[in-house]
Amino acid sequence: MDLFNLEGKVAVITGSGKGIGKAIALGLADAGADVVVVARTQSDIDQTVLEIEQKGRKAIGISTDVKKKEEIERMVEQTLHTFGKIDILINNAGMNIRTPALEVSEEEWELIIQTNMKSVFLASQAVGKHMVEQKHGSIINISSVAGHVALRTGVAYAATKAGIIQMTKTLALEWGKYNVRVNAIAPWYFKTPLTEKLLTNKEYYDEVISRTPLRRVGDVKELVGPAVFLASDASSYVTGHTIFVDGGMSIYGF
């Protein structure tokens, strides 16, 4: 369907070397987009670029630490130099350390806040400036159900993911008049390098499943549909919202 067609669009996707970001990068390429692959590990970046090129789309990889403003600005400049525009930004890069609140060090707090939340603001600001000028754009922030309900993911992680939901609303409010839309996706458990170890713990896995109406964890490919929807004209009147891709987990009341 033309509404979902991303041909001629340029998408910057942070954390697209593996896991959810890579799946979304490949999915957007399938929908027609050219992709800028952003992460730090060069071998992962190269592999994602190769797989996108094999789909007949253009891709470049730019090694970037999203915690650093100057690196984000350099990445945006390089992207504009190569492609001349950015239509879609997906702020996906993230990490977690699950430490009980009483034991979280200041360094750990800073690392999680900078990686998961400050990065979303810095990239949105750098790319948003360009989108506001060109008077169109779609920004998609990857939050988590941990930003909405209380989970045992750790306090810093939860704070960043809740912060992302509110940042999404505020940026949507400020930039709506420039036809720049800002939305978020909040996933529940998906098997990726981030969660693999946790989900191999049978007791934990069974508890996760017991709280998930669809009775399974997600496959990263199941995030492609929501991402293409929010990136494309199919969602042209949707902004400031968070789509929960969670097998129904966040509606579970008991």
Ligand X SMILES: NC(=O)c1ccc[n+]([C@@H]2O[C@H](COP(=O)([O-])OP(=O)(O)OC[C@H]3O[C@@H](n4cnc5c(N)ncnc54)[C@H](OP(=O)(O)O)[C@@H]3O)[C@@H](O)[C@H]2O)c1
Residue 193 found at the interface with ligand X (CB under 6 A): yes
Q: Nearer Cβ to ligand X, position 92 or 212? A: 92
From 26-34, 39-47, 49-57, 81-89, span contacting ligand X (CB under 6 A): 39-47
Q: Nearer Cβ to ligand X, position 34 or 44? A: 44
Q: Which two tokens stand for residue 4?
A: 């979902």
Q: Cα-atom radius of gyration of the chain, to the nearest Å?
A: 17
**Residue 157 annotated to the active site:** yes
Q: Which two tokens stand for residue 48?
A: 């994602």
From 27-35, 37-45, 207-215, 234-242, span contacting ligand X (CB under 6 A): 37-45
For β-strands 242-245 and 34-39, DSSP reports them as unpaired
Residue carrying structure tokens 């977690």: 96
Residue 250 found at the interface with ligand X (CB under 6 A): no
CA-to-CA distance for 243 and 172, rounded, in angstroms? 15
Question: Which of 92, 238, 243, 85 shows the shortest CA–CA distance to 172?
Answer: 238
Q: How far is CA 175 from the centre of its chain?
A: 19
Q: Which two tokens stand for residue 173?
A: 């409010």
The SS3 call for residue 199 is helix
Residue 93 found at the interface with ligand X (CB under 6 A): yes
Q: Nearer Cβ to ligand X, position 83 or 188? A: 188
- Among 6, 12, 25, 39, the residue binding ligand X under the rule CB under 6 A is 39
Q: In what order do the strands lie in the sheet with 137-142?
A: 59-63, 34-39, 10-14, 88-91, 137-142, 180-187, 242-245
Q: How many residues contact ligand X, by CB under 6 A? A: 29
Q: Nearer Cβ to ligand X, position 109 or 178? A: 109
Structure letter (DSSP) for residue 254: -
Map residues 151-190 to x or -, x wherever contact with ligand X holds by CB under 6 A.
Answer: ------------------------------------x-xx
Q: Nearer Cβ to ligand X, position 144 or 235? A: 144
Interface ranges with ligand X (CB under 6 A) = 14-15, 17-21, 39-41, 44, 64-67, 92-95, 115, 142, 144, 187, 189-190, 192-195
Catalytic positions, please? 157
